[in-house]
């Protein structure tokens, strides 16, 4: 199991009487793009927070980048990147200052950061915005920058929580190109989304319903299994089984 980027065994999180995540078990290979789907309130964010070491599991086991999420959350954190649903770069810092800050936090040296900053800005075609305060960037650019910040320190696994929410189709397309580039470099990508066309871009997809994983396979196999033509139909069929109300 040590060669998996992520694996969980009966991972569970309860808040009082409410079981947000109910005994989920799955594995993610190194360098894989893993789609983590589910309706609102299905427990995706809670599961992701546990994997990132932000939330302590009630029971079960989880291992990310070779470290136990319950026993070594700080080591997990050293080896992952995280981009949250809520845009969370520092708005009152300039583009390069955000990169420098997060690089520094992960222990990169100033020189190393400067070189990498040039590279990233070139890749994103944001060289001209180097000195711009993040708050004055358009949303699409912010999202791309946010992703670049989350993989700036070359983590083993990156968690993306609805990274393309509210972004236009062209920018979403570009965003996925960035994800593919990261995966090619060997970074494992764990992504949640509500866009079913994006689910098609993933290597494998899991669908959560009411805190449980109801389906897990490649998009192609899932479509065949449910005898439908799109991932959207697969999702609709599964989501209809939900008894839990969306939040």
Partner 1 sequence: MLKFLIEKEFKQIVRNTFLPKIIIMMPVMMMLVLPWAANQEVKDVRLSIVDNDHSVYSERLVNKIIAGGYFKLTDVSASNPEAMRSIESGKADIILEIQDEFDKSLINEGVARVMISANSVNSTKGGLGSSYLSAILADYATELREEGGQAVVTAVEVPSFGVMPQYKFNPHLDYKVFMVPALMVTLLTMLCGFLPALNIVGEKEAGTIEQINVTPVKKLVFVLAKLIPYWVIGFAVLTVAIGLGALVYGIYPVGNLLTIFLFATIYILVVSGMGLVISNYSDTMQQAMFVMFFFMMILLLMSGLFTPTTSMPEWAKTITVFNPLKYFIQVMRLVYLKGSTFFEMIPQFLALCGFALALNTWAVVSYRKSQ
For 199-225, b/e burial (b = at least 16 CB within 10 A) is: bebbebbbbbbbbebbbbeebeebbee
CB of 52 to partner 1, least distance (A): 5
Minimum Å distance from CB 182 to partner 1? 17
Find residue 145's DSSP bridge partners.
Answer: none
**Shortest distance (Å) from residue 77 CB to partner 1:** 5
The least distance separating partner 1 from the CB of residue 104, rounded to whole angstroms, comes to 3
State which residue, 105 or 139, has the beta carbon closest to partner 1.
105
Q: Sign of the CA dihedral 83, 176, 41, 10?
A: negative
By C-beta, is 48 or 222 nearer to partner 1? 48
In which residue are the tokens 């927070």 written? 49
By C-beta, is 107 or 229 nearer to partner 1?
107
| Paired tokens of 30 | 């190194």
What residues pair up with 123 in beta bridges, in sequence order?
none
Interacting residues toward partner 1 by CB under 8 A: 52-56, 73-74, 77-78, 80, 82, 84, 86-93, 97, 100-107, 133, 159
* Strand ranges (E), 109-243: 157-161, 188-192, 204-209, 212-217
Instruction: Pick the closer one to partner 1 by CB: 211 or 219.
Output: 211
């Amino acid at each position: 199991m040590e060669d998996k980027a992520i694996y969980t065994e009966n991972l569970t999180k309860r808040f009082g009487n409410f079981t947000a995540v109910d005994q989920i078990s799955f594995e993610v290979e190194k360098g894989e793009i893993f789609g983590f789907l589910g309706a609102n309130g299905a427990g995706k964010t809670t599961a992701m927070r546990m994997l990132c070491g932000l939330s302590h599991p009630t029971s079960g086991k989880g291992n990310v980048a070779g470290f136990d999420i319950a026993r070594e959350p700080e080591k997990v954190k050293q080896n992952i990147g995280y981009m949250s649903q809520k845009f969370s770069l520092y708005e009152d810092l300039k583009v390069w200052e955000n990169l420098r800050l997060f690089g520094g936090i992960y222990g990169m040296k100033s020189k190393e950061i400067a070189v990498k900053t040039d590279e990233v800005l070139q890749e994103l075609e944001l060289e001209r915005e180097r000195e711009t305060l993040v708050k004055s960037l358009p949303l699409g650019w912010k999202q791309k920058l946010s992703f670049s910040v989350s993989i700036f320190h070359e983590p083993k696994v990156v968690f993306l929580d609805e990274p393309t929410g509210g972004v236009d189709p062209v920018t979403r397309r570009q965003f996925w190109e960035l994800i593919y580039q990261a995966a090619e470099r060997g970074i494992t990508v764990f992504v949640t989304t509500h866009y079913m066309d994006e689910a098609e871009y993933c290597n494998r997809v899991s669908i959560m319903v009411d805190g449980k994983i109801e389906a897990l396979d490649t998009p192609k196999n899932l479509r065949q299994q449910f005898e439908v033509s799109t991932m959207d139909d697969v999702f609709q069929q599964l989501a209809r089984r939900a008894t839990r109300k969306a939040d």
